[in-house]
Amino acid sequence: MQVYLKTLANAMLSSTSDVYGDYLLNYPEIMSGRRVRIEVAQGRRVHFEFYSSAGGEAEGEPGTSVPIPLLGGVLGLRKAIVHRDNVEAFARLNSAKSLQSLVVGQGAQWPDNTIYKNAGIALVGAKEYDNLLPMLMRKRFDFLPLSIIEIDGVLEKQTTVFDALVVEDNTFIYYPIPTYIRVSDTQPELLGRLNLGLKRIQASGEFRAIMQKYIEPYVKGISAQQAKLFVLENPMLTEQENRSRSRRITETYFADTQKIFWLY
Please give the domain boundaries of the chain with CATH numbers for all domains: 2-72+177-218 (3.40.190), 74-176+223-262 (3.40.190.10)
Q: Which is nearest to 54 in space by CA: 110, 123, 106?
A: 110
pTM check: above 0.75:
yes
Distance of CA 15 to the CA centre of its chain: 26
Q: What are phi and psi of 83, to 5 degrees?
A: -75, 140
On whether the CB atoms of residues 65 and 181 are closer than 8 A, the answer is yes
Q: What is the pLDDT of residue 60?
A: 66
What whole-number distance in Å separates Cα of residue 210 and Cα of residue 224? 24
* pLDDT tens, residue order, the chain (264 aa): 788 999 999 999 999 999 999 999 988 778 887 888 889 999 999 999 998 888 777 666 778 998 898 888 899 999 999 999 999 999 899 999 999 999 999 999 999 999 999 999 999 999 999 999 999 999 999 999 999 999 988 888 776 789 999 999 999 999 999 999 999 999 999 999 999 999 999 999 999 999 989 988 888 878 877 899 999 999 999 999 999 999 999 999 998 888 999 999
On whether the CB atoms of residues 187 and 43 are closer than 8 A, the answer is yes
Q: Collect contacts of 238-245 with beta carbons under 8 A, ≥24 apart.
A: 241/56, 241/176, 241/178, 242/176, 245/73, 245/76, 245/176, 245/178
Q: What is the pLDDT of residue 159?
A: 67
Q: Which is nearest to 124 in space by CA: 143, 145, 103?
A: 103
Angle value at C-alpha 246, between 141 and 136, nearest 5 degrees: 10
What whole-number distance in Å separates Cα of residue 34 and Cα of residue 66? 19
What whole-number distance in Å separates Cα of residue 143 and Cα of residue 102? 8
Q: What are phi and psi of 205, to 5 degrees?
A: 90, -5
* Three-class secondary structure of residue 46 per DSSP: coil
